[in-house]
């Protein structure tokens, strides 16, 4: 394995990992989250941003991976039990399901465009022959013998339902059928090489996706017995199809009402038009599973944390440079007393200078003395109390500008007005003003990954380098990464992610400018002295009418807004912005909140909680995208 130096850099879906390694790294929690009806005859669509784990799920059901799960049952009992429970594996006989995995990233989008029968027919023909080809190759893996002799020993029979599929030779043997499929694919490529925009009349063209019916009807006889009666067709990367091809594929496969379950997996970008009306297509025959929502909503991502820790520990177990069994045990969760005392002294000095003008104000006298009395032992809570007091006084001051209340506020008032949100704001204020680490610990690492496995691994890779460095430098007295060290590494990784946006996106420079502007805007709203949107603002909202306006835009009617649309879609698809529905209230219509990716939140120094957002407009987005947003001068908390 090329990445053994840092096991967090390897992508599991890559073909490089052997099936045995794949099984070793596979976190079985994901199987638990798969719904029971996934194995029923219907179209099941799995979608997520890149790195969400789609291909990993699909690969787990290919014959070789299933066999590896079966062999690894003593060491991977949890995954094995899950697969047995679903009838995919048999304890004695091994794999029971023939998973056929195909990718759409293989030239379909380069087929001639347009809705003509010939063009659509060529698309169907290409997919049909590839389904047949991959099914037969997967069958040889399923039977687990030398490919050619296994193929020669397979007899194909068809059930007597009268199902007809004229495009596929019914009387051919398995070997002949493979040759037919290879030749048909070759013919289609030859047609494409002729450099004409539309296919000739003699080009291969099918009238329906009948390979799915073939997969349903064919019986494989090997050594006199029927093998692989249960099948699963998995079509990956559907975002790589053109919109019209995707629509045709889903619509026609649904219409076929095949008894074979068809799993389709694609990035959210494939559903870009629908990110505003999530779940609109859901029905009896099409079921959608947004992977990031499989882990619960973002406010309660405990399930993802468990899953993520499992992934990290499995990878951690692959290496030997850092001893020990768990990744999390090397991430310190607490500050040293020296660090806390130093921070407290600084915080107290800032508190005094900021509260100087309230010294004679009887209303705050109790709160001030409560905050200023140094406790015998300094801990994080005492630090937070200082900042909470500042926030609450600033709020009270803002609310009572025109009233004259001279009754002192009591400690009970303080407790009453304090909340977890205010504590959250105090915590990020501490990070902002005193640079006391905020981005550290296993839970925050998982939150920063925005429910995305690939992001989790890239952040973990950065931390792992630090752990390894400590081992090499023989600083065994403190083998854990301190909060400050964790934060530095995570923020560096966040900056690298931001810097890479122009190099990895079609409208990268614009996307980066828009995200920077949203980050600047959120910082300004977050770090107001009274923390009005505690714990902070990390998203911007577009109302339904703004979004409708955006959807109507075309390249010809408004090129600028059309670019905004494209940039926004791309950011959502790539997980740089995370959308959440925002319901209507008496004062405002419903809409969609675009939250910043949590790793980017770390880059902008924002809190990691969801919930805080500000209303915006597409015109503002256009300005931010084109010219950016400069931080305003009256950034009070920063100035103070």
Partner 1 sequence: MIWKDYVFRRGIEVEELWDQMFLDRRRSKRPVRLLYVTGRGFDVRANSVMSKFVDRLRASQCKIEKADLVIVGFTGYQLSDELHAQTAKNVTELEDLFSGVGNCHTLTIGDSVEGEDDISATIILRDSADRVLKHLTDQTDVILDVSSLPRIAYLTILLSLLARIIPQGGGGQGLTANGVTLQVLVAEDARLDSQISSEDPSNELTLIPGYSEALQSEALRDDPLVWFPILGENRFAQMKKIEEAVPSSAEVCPILPHPSKNPRRGDELLVEYDSILFAKRETPLSNILYVSESHPFEAYRQLIEAMLRFRKTTGIVGGCRLIVTPLASKLITVGSALACFEMKLISADYKSSVAIPYAEPKRYVASIESMKSSRAEISALVLTGDAYDGSFQPNGEDLSG
List, in sequence order, every residue forming a beta bridge with 539; answer none if it has no partner.
Answer: 595, 613
Query: Considering beta carbons, is residue 233 or 384 the nearer one to partner 1?
Result: 233
Q: Which stretch binds partner 1 (CB under 8 A): 339-347, 376-384, 474-482, 507-515?
A: 507-515
Question: How far apart are CB 503 and partner 1 at their closest, in Å?
Answer: 4
Would you call 45 helix, strand, or coil by DSSP?
strand
**476 φ, ψ to 5°?**
-65, -25
Q: ω into residue 123 within 30 of 0, thus cis?
A: no
List 297, 302, 504, 619, residue binding partner 1 (CB under 8 A): 504
Question: How far apart are CB 473 and partner 1 at their closest, in Å?
Answer: 21
In which residue are the tokens 């990956």 written?
A: 236
Print the binding letters for residues 394-423 with partner 1: x by CB under 8 A, - otherwise.
Answer: ------------------------------
Q: Which stretch binds partner 1 (CB under 8 A): 441-449, 462-470, 499-507, 606-614?
A: 499-507
Q: Which stretch binds partner 1 (CB under 8 A): 185-193, 338-346, 403-411, 618-626?
A: 185-193
List 94, 317, 502, 628, residue binding partner 1 (CB under 8 A): 502
Q: Which stretch binds partner 1 (CB under 8 A): 41-49, 189-197, 458-466, 513-521?
A: 189-197
By the 10 Å C-beta count (0-12 exposed, 13-18 middle, 19+ buried), 246 is classed as: buried
Contact 48, 292 (CB under 8 A): yes
Nearest one of 103, 72, 69 to 86, comparing CA atoms:
69
Interface of this chain with partner 1, residues 227 to 246, rule: CB under 8 A: 242-244
Question: How far apart are CB 42 and partner 1 at their closest, in Å?
Answer: 25
Q: Does 185 bind partner 1 (CB under 8 A)?
A: yes
Q: Does 432 bind partner 1 (CB under 8 A)?
A: no
Q: Does 144 bind partner 1 (CB under 8 A)?
A: no
Question: How far apart are CB 112 and partner 1 at their closest, in Å?
Answer: 7
Nearest one of 29, 26, 32 to 10, comparing CA atoms:
26
What is the rounded distance in angstroms from the CA atom of residue 308 to the CA atom of residue 318?
16
Give the pair of three-digit tokens for residue 445: 């690492």
Question: How far apart are CB 195 and partner 1 at their closest, in Å?
Answer: 5
Rounded (10°) CA dihedral 455, 461, 466, 470? 150
What is the rounded distance in angstroms from the CA atom of residue 38 to the CA atom of residue 232?
10
Question: How far apart are CB 558 and partner 1 at their closest, in Å?
Answer: 15
Residues that contact partner 1, how many (by CB under 8 A):
44
Query: Considering beta carbons, is residue 3 or 635 the nearer one to partner 1?
Result: 3
In which residue are the tokens 């675009």 written?
A: 594
List, in sequence order, every residue forming a beta bridge with 439; answer none if it has no partner.
Answer: none
Q: Which stretch binds partner 1 (CB under 8 A): 106-114, 332-340, 369-377, 397-405?
A: 106-114
What is the rounded distance in angstroms from the CA atom of residue 246 to the CA atom of residue 235?
11
Interface of this chain with partner 1, residues 75 to 104, rule: CB under 8 A: 102
Give 483-521 as a 3 state SS string: HHHHHHHHHHHHHHHHHHHHHHCCCHHHHHHHHHHHHHH
Contact 268, 577 (CB under 8 A): no
By the 10 Å C-beta count (0-12 exposed, 13-18 middle, 19+ buried), 205 is classed as: buried
List 130, 315, 432, 491, residue binding partner 1 (CB under 8 A): 130
List 74, 92, 115, 585, residue binding partner 1 (CB under 8 A): 115
What is the binding site for partner 1 (CB under 8 A)? 2-3, 9, 14-16, 102, 105-107, 109-110, 112-115, 129-130, 133-134, 137, 181-182, 185-186, 189, 192-193, 195-197, 242-244, 502-509, 555, 570
């Amino acid at each position: 394995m090329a990445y053994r130096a840092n096991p967090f850099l390897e992508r599991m879906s890559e073909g490089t990992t052997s099936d045995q390694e794949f099984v070793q790294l596979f976190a079985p929690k994901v199987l638990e989250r798969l719904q029971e009806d996934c194995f029923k005859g219907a179209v099941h669509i799995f979608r997520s941003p890149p790195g969400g784990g789609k291909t990993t799920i699909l690969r787990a059901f290919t014959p070789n991976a299933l066999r590896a799960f079966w062999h690894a049952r003593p060491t991977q009992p949890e995954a094995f039990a899950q697969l047995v429970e679903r009838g995919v594996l048999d304890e004695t006989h091994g794999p029971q399901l023939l998973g056929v995995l195909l990718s759409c990233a293989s030239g379909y989008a380069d087929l001639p465009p347009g809705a003509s029968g010939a063009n659509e027919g060529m698309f169907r023909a290409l997919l049909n022959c590839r389904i047949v080809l991959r099914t037969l190759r997967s069958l040889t893996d399923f039977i687990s013998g030398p490919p050619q002799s296994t193929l020669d020993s397979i007899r194909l029979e068809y059930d007597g339902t009268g199902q007809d599929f004229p495009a596929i030779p019914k009387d051919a043997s398995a070997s002949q059928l493979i040759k037919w499929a290879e030749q048909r694919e070759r013919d289609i490529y030859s047609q494409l090489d002729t450099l004409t925009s539309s296919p000739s009349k003699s080009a291969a063209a099918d009238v329906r996706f009948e390979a799915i019916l073939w997969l349903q009807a064919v019986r494989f006889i090997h050594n006199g017995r029927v093998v692989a009666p249960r099948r699963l067709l998995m079509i990956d990367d559907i975002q790589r199809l053109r919109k019209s091809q995707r629509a045709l594929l889903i619509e026609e496969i649904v219409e076929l009402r095949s008894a074979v379950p068809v799993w389709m997996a694609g990035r959210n970008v494939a559903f870009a038009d629908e990110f505003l009306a999530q779940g609109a297509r859901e029905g009896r025959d099409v079921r959608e599973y947004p992977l990031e929502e499989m882990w619960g909503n973002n406010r309660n991502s405990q399930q993802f944390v468990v899953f993520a820790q499992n992934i990290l520990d499995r990878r951690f177990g692959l290496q030997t440079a850092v001893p020990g069994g768990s990744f999390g045990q090397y991430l310190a969760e607490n500050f040293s007393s020296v660090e806390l005392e130093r921070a407290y002294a600084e915080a107290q000095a800032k508190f005094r200078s900021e509260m100087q003008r309230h010294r004679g104000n009887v209303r705050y006298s109790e709160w001030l003395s409560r905050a200023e009395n140094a406790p015998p032992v300094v801990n994080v809570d005492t630090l937070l109390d200082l900042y909470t007091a500042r926030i609450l006084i600033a709020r009270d001051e803002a609310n009572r500008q025109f009233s004259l209340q001279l009754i002192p506020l009591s400690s009970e008032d303080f407790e009453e007005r304090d909340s977890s949100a205010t504590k959250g704001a105090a915590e990020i204020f501490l990070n902002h003003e005193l640079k006391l680490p905020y981005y550290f610990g296993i839970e925050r690492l998982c939150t920063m990954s925005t429910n995305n496995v690939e992001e989790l691994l890239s952040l973990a890779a950065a931390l792992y380098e630090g752990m390894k460095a400590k081992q090499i430098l023989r600083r065994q007295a403190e083998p854990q990464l301190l909060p400050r060290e964790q934060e530095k590494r995570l923020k560096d990784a966040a900056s690298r992610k931001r810097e890479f946006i122009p190099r990895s996106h079609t409208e990268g420079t614009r996307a980066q400018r828009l995200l920077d502007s949203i980050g600047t805007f959120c910082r300004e709203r977050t770090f107001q002295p009274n923390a009005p949107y505690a714990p902070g603002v990390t998203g911007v909202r577009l109302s339904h009418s703004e979004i409708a306006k955006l959807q109507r835009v075309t390249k010809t009617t408004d090129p600028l807004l059309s670019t905004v649309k494209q940039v926004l879609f791309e950011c959502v698809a790539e997980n740089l912005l995370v959308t959440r529905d925002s319901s209507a209230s008496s004062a405002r219509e419903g809409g969609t909140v675009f939250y910043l990716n949590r790793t980017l939140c770390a880059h902008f120094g924002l809190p990691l909680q969801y919930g805080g957002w500000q209303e915006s407009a597409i015109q503002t987005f256009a300005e931010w995208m084109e010219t950016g947003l400069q931080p305003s001068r009256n950034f009070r908390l920063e100035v103070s």
